[in-house]
Amino acid sequence: LTIVESAAPEQSTPKRAVIVAIAEPARAAAWRERLAALLPDYTVVDDTEPTPADRVRYAMVWKPRRGFFGAYPQLRAILSIGAGVEDILSDPMLPQGIAIVRMIDDALTVGMREYVLLHVLRYHRRQPELEAAQQERRWQPIDAGTAAERRVGIMGLGVLGCDGARHLSSLGFKVAGWKRKPAAIDGIEVFAGREGLDAFLARTQILVCLLPLTAATRELIDAEFLKKLPRGACVINASRGECLVENALLAAIDSGHIAGATLDVFAREPLPPDHPFWTHPKITITPHIASLTALESGARHIAAAIADLEADRVPLGLVSRGNGY
Amino acid sequence: LTIVESAAPEQSTPKRAVIVAIAEPARAAAWRERLAALLPDYTVVDDTEPTPADRVRYAMVWKPRRGFFGAYPQLRAILSIGAGVEDILSDPMLPQGIAIVRMIDDALTVGMREYVLLHVLRYHRRQPELEAAQQERRWQPIDAGTAAERRVGIMGLGVLGCDGARHLSSLGFKVAGWKRKPAAIDGIEVFAGREGLDAFLARTQILVCLLPLTAATRELIDAEFLKKLPRGACVINASRGECLVENALLAAIDSGHIAGATLDVFAREPLPPDHPFWTHPKITITPHIASLTALESGARHIAAAIADLEADRVPLGLVSRGNGY
């Protein structure tokens, strides 16, 4: 029998803390537990527990309350469990000079890939029209043509956008992308900036919005924008509700210019019960489930980011405050 | 100025004929025109035109009337514009010893690939449940998990089945296939014959039927078969309606064992207006549009098959009468 002595001294300095601010308790507990297992050198605490403020070195958050960050003078970085960080950046109490890291997670990428493929194929194959025909017991064969005849446009060519574009392209779709700055991406026609927008929209039959929410993308999809899509185009929004002017979309659909929309995100979530989107026959609602961060791989991403920051390396997913993502 | 003399003698022997038997006149005319352009050495005629019976060497058909083939003593081969040839094989007047060639067409493969991906993703991501929640204005986030957790089973591993299996597999789905005889296919677990069926069904959450209609597959999907799928499984049938016992499917859905079905094919088509499938909330009807032969590439396949037969080569898509496909 070998007795292994504890390596820790009796009177150790108190561990540094990672504070978890995730509104939903069950979800917070699950993340806390996963992260604690990966970070033995840290105490992982909930923001509802009393914790000495100057011990808090990192915060792992999802939609934290306004002013949250001001309470921790030693905070070195904020780690988001989602890919969008607009709620963090818009907090006026956000300290200068601390790092913000957004979620980059394989499960997030795979989930969005599946969502984008499903809903692009659904419009491409005119499944909503077939379901309307079924409602009326109408046998109405439709030849939707093949992907090679269908032009899909992806707005936002980050990790999720590029992945979706690549998979659509490999199914034969004619895929173009739009982003802030010019870039060369294999197999995808890239349009850039405000000056590339009109041409991008004019050639796009199925539009997929995967943009981060920033000052430049807020309410980007408005009446004028929608007019630039060809008649009969469909819109899929899986980024942030605020990228789209909801009334403008309703008007464009009701005028017959836009054939349909599939929306995963909304200006207010949950979508209020009296919102006209719920009952609109040309609008498909999904309750912000396009892509969900997986606990296991998501916690690994955050632990790796903390290790990088401690070693003065640039972590994956480091946010540029200037760009907003 | 050069005058080129016609190479054809004044008194040529009458051209051999390809007869077209496609019930829908507009469709028949389009096929006739395409094929005529590819076969200058043949007269391509409609079966409604008076044509000397002994000049007819090939017949291009879709659901020909019973006994059609008996009229042409010099018939060498029957060329189907669809992938399924059960209507030809079941004709008691079908002459012995003539070749039957089924359609193999890229557009047919691509169309089925899109259909299979769309409807597998639709069940995988629980889109019908989300749409039911929308009907009730219910914000009900569902974590469907990723493809890696979903087991899809493809029945029939011909050109269409293998292609669908490969694409589902590359999206991360756990794909198995079932066929008549054992075979090794990369990345797909293959179950074979009656003895492999139970294990195949037991592991399958989303079943896709792409089987040819033969004596062995007729009414294969019956009450006992459906019981062997796990509770909550979904069924997609894009082969032939007769592979499935319609009442057994209805009973299995109504008992809660089968969660839903998407059907492109039916024992009677068009599906009669009073058929219970139309209004069943768990059944999605598509009007035999999963996969359509493209005129251009389809006519090329038929012209190539005729050239092969004339040169005593085995044409692509040659049907085995014994196997039924």
A213-256: pLDDT as tens digits: 999 999 999 999 999 999 999 999 999 999 999 999 999 999 99
Gyration radius from chain B CA atoms: 23
Contact A107/B at CB under 8 A? yes
Q: How many Å separate Cα B62 from the centre of its chain?
A: 12
The pLDDT assigned to A92 comes to: 87
Percent of chain B at pLDDT above 70? 96
pLDDT band for A187, please (50, 70, 90 cuts).
confident
Judged by average pLDDT, the poorest of A21-25, A107-111, A220-224 is A21-25
Closest residue on chain B to A273 (Cα)? B137
The pLDDT assigned to B137 comes to: 97
- Chain B residue numbers with beta carbons less than 8 Å from the beta carbon of A292 are 143
- Chain B residue numbers with beta carbons less than 8 Å from the beta carbon of A270 are 139
The rounded distance, in Å, linking the Cα atoms of B59 and B161 is 27
Q: Is position B27 annotated as part of the catalytic site?
A: no
Judged by average pLDDT, the poorest of A131-140, A303-312, B179-188 is B179-188
The pLDDT assigned to A1 comes to: 54
To the nearest whole Å, the CA of B77 is away from the closest chain A CA by 29
B292 contacts A107? CB cut-off 8 A? no
Judged by average pLDDT, the poorest of A5-19, A300-314, B185-199, B240-254 is A5-19
The pLDDT assigned to A6 comes to: 52
> Which of A323, A325, A318, A322 minimizes the C-alpha distance to A76?
A318
Q: For residue A201, what are the CA distances in angstroms to A146, A165, A172, A189, A195?
A: 21, 16, 20, 13, 11
- Chain B residue numbers with beta carbons less than 8 Å from the beta carbon of A147 are 110, 114
Phi, psi for B209 (deg, rounded to 5): -100, 115
pLDDT band for A64, please (50, 70, 90 cuts).
confident
Contact B148/A at CB under 8 A? yes
State the count of interchain CB pairs (< 8 A) between A and B.
Answer: 102
Q: Is position B240 annotated as part of the catalytic site?
A: yes
pLDDT band for B70, please (50, 70, 90 cuts).
confident
Kindly report the length of chain B: 325
Contact A267/B at CB under 8 A? no
Contact A48/B at CB under 8 A? no
Q: B9 pLDDT exceeds 60?
A: no
The rounded distance, in Å, linking the Cα atoms of A32 and A23 is 13
- Span B9-35, average pLDDT: 86
Cα angle vertex A277, ends A276, A279, to 5°?
Answer: 75
| Catalytic residue annotation of A | 240, 288
pLDDT band for B271, please (50, 70, 90 cuts).
very high
Q: A126 pLDDT exceeds 60?
A: yes
Which of A122, A141, A279 has its CB closest to that of B289? Answer: A141
The three state secondary structure string of B155-186 is ECCCHHHHHHHHHHHHCCCEEEEEECCCCCEC
A278 contacts B134? CB cut-off 8 A? yes
A271 contacts B139? CB cut-off 8 A? yes
Q: Mutate one of A24, A108, A116, A118 to test the B interface: name it (highest B CB count within 10 A).
A: A118
pLDDT band for B65, please (50, 70, 90 cuts).
confident
Judged by average pLDDT, the poorest of A85-89, A152-156, A232-236, B9-13 is B9-13
Which of A134, A144, A287 has its CB closest to that of B140? Answer: A287
Instruction: For chain A, give the mean pLDDT.
Output: 93
pLDDT band for A81, please (50, 70, 90 cuts).
very high
Q: For residue A1, what are the CA distances in angstroms to A5, A6, A8, A12, B286?
A: 13, 16, 21, 28, 70
To the nearest whole Å, the CA of A22 is away from the closest chain B CA by 17
In this prediction the pTM is 0.89
